[in-house]
Structure 1
Amino acid sequence: MKFVIKIDDYVYGEKETIWCELFSMLEDKDIYASIGVIGHLSLVNFKVNQDLKMKSLPRKVEIWNHGYEHERGEFLGQDLSRQLTQIAKCHNAIKEIFGYEPLAFGAPFNDYDENTVNACCELGYKYFFGAEYTKSVNAIKLDNLLTFETSKFYEEDEFYVNPVMSRFKKRYATAVQNGNPCVIQIHPRRWNLSGIKTFSMILDYIINDGGDFVSLSKAQSNK
């Protein structure tokens, strides 16, 4: 069974402790993961303090374009020109910060339309998180989406949405039956360190069950 780890909402310069712990854990397990960068906030933080730059992302972490503003309506319902601009702005921000050319896109809140897919194709993107309008691009379909984060809870005026093992186990069997690939969608930007520990246990559970964490290219392949 193939699994794609879809990490949403990375912002450069925020929650560095959480991200470093997560990336270290992924590297220790030697598994693929794909991280979606929010362009505008990341670029603002980068220009303020470039010393924060993570200079050594795990070799199996792929970066994908998660939109420039990360707002509802950034893509869905917008004309092609506007969508091209927003995708290109995030692309350029990722390139400036990481020296990395992203080849995949996922819309904020998974809200997109045909213009979004056409814009990605025009800009040379190879992979797209979604299923609709995707005949012209390799789709990492989200029709088998496995989520297991808790509802929002607060500690010292900060809110979190940590992974929950019991919620994962309730949904895991159904996700496996639904077929390849299973996309695990997570939001570590809203975790505390307890969330990292729980996610590590979830990954071990999947690994012990024979799960294979794959790159985006392998996710849309039948091989």
Structure 2
Amino acid sequence: MRNRIYFLAVVLAFYWPLQGQDSPQVILKLDDLKNESGLVHPGWQQVMDFLNEEGVTGAIGLIGNSLEKGDQEYINWIKSRHAEGHEIWHHGYCHCRPTVAGKEVREFRGTSYAYQLDNLQKTQQLAREKLGLTLLSFGAPYNNTDSSTIRALAELGDITTWMYKETSAPTEKHVFKRIHAVNIEYPVHIPRVDKLRAGFKENRTEPLLIIQGHPRSWVDSPKRFRRFKRIVRYLKKQGVRFTTPSAYYAHINK
């Protein structure tokens, strides 16, 4: 009897600390894919080649008007990334700063409902025509949104998930919240391994972490790209499961 109790105590001592310690799923929210003289920026090429080598999926934020020029090499590159399992998501139409009443605003904050709806629809249409894809996820340029964004997105039934919703107004879309302590870049465009590790350790009990970065900026200095690689490899060692917005949404709603 004593031996059985001792055995159970040893098992519990080993097993109990592991409860609730499962590593989270991670979405790599990669922003600002656009047409660069008919081609894909080298930063994007290097980042996606590296992710494929590591067997890691990412989420590519497409700026819609980049499809208007019709450069086939650019379009084929995007199609290939989709075929590999990476998700192409709606990152606005122009990623611009329009002027309203003499004041600089953002594409999805401070502009009218009609303007926002038109931009959302144009990108969806371009993706269908040029890529043969229906974009399922949305994330605004600069992560700036307002109540008009809620109304406009409600008209797009295809879009089911929304990354980094800023406004507090309710929406029927599945919102992926932002945890500011977990990011690739500190400040924007500058990868920091130490900051990522600290934020991850603090939030590793979350079921999902969405980590934002900008691949175009990481080839400005070899150090930046090396840091990004270290971040991905660190996360892999922590046992995270990389996913995409629509894949995660399908998983929790299956």
* Bin for the TM-score computed over the shorter chain: 0.7 to 0.9
Q: What are the Cα deviations for residues 133-156 of structure 1, in whole angstroms up to 9, with x where unaligned?
A: 35411112224562232447xxxx
State the 1:108 CA deviation. 0.9
Relative to structure 1, the CA distance from residue 71 to residue 100 in structure 2 (aligned partners, 3 Å threshold; closer, same or farther) is same
Q: Percent identity?
A: 28
Q: Secondary structure at the match of 2:80?
A: coil
How many angstroms apart in 2 are the aligned matches of 1:25 and 1:211? 17
Residue of structure 2 in register with 1:187 after alignment: 214
Q: Secondary structure at the match of 2:116?
A: helix
How many angstroms apart in 1 are the aligned matches of 2:214 and 2:197? 18
1:140 correspondence with 2:176 = yes
- RMSD of the TM alignment (CA)? 2.5
Residue of structure 1 in register with 2:30 after alignment: 7
Amino acid at match of 1:171: G
1:107 correspondence with 2:144 = no
Relative to structure 1, the CA distance from residue 208 to residue 168 in structure 2 (aligned partners, 3 Å threshold; closer, same or farther) is same
Relative to structure 1, the CA distance from residue 30 to residue 133 in structure 2 (aligned partners, 3 Å threshold; closer, same or farther) is farther
Residue of structure 1 in register with 2:10 after alignment: none
Query: TM-score scaled to structure 2, two decimals?
Result: 0.73
State the 1:173 CA deviation. 1.5
How many angstroms apart in 2 are the aligned matches of 1:201 and 1:222? 33
Amino acid at match of 1:129: M
Q: Where does the alignment leave 5 or more consecutive residues of structure 1 unmatched? A: 153-160
Residue of structure 1 in register with 2:160 after alignment: 126
Describe how 1:68-217 pairs up with structure 2 within 5 A: 68-72=93-97, 73-124=106-157, 125-131=159-165, 132-143=168-179, 146-151=182-187, 161-177=189-205, 179-192=206-219, 193-217=222-246
Relative to structure 1, the CA distance from residue 208 to residue 173 in structure 2 (aligned partners, 3 Å threshold; closer, same or farther) is same
Misfit runs of 4+, over 4 Å: none
Q: What are the Cα deviations for residues 75-121 of structure 1, in whole angstroms up to 9, with x where unaligned?
A: 11333222110111222233344322101111111111232123223
How many angstroms apart in 1 are the aligned matches of 2:170 and 2:47? 31
State the 1:218 CA deviation. 4.6
Q: How many residue pairs were aligned?
A: 211
How many angstroms apart in 2 are the aligned matches of 1:52 and 1:130? 27
How many angstroms apart in 2 are the aligned matches of 1:104 and 1:115? 18
Relative to structure 1, the CA distance from residue 18 to residue 4 in structure 2 (aligned partners, 3 Å threshold; closer, same or farther) is same
Is the contact between residue 150 and residue 171 of structure 2 (CA under 8 Å) also seen in structure 1? no
Relative to structure 1, the CA distance from residue 197 to residue 93 in structure 2 (aligned partners, 3 Å threshold; closer, same or farther) is farther
Q: Secondary structure at the match of 1:191?
A: helix
Query: TM-score scaled to structure 1, two decimals?
Result: 0.82
Is the contact between residue 30 and residue 60 of structure 1 (CA under 8 Å) also seen in structure 2? no
Relative to structure 1, the CA distance from residue 90 to residue 198 in structure 2 (aligned partners, 3 Å threshold; closer, same or farther) is same
Is the contact between residue 80 and residue 119 of structure 1 (CA under 8 Å) also seen in structure 2? yes
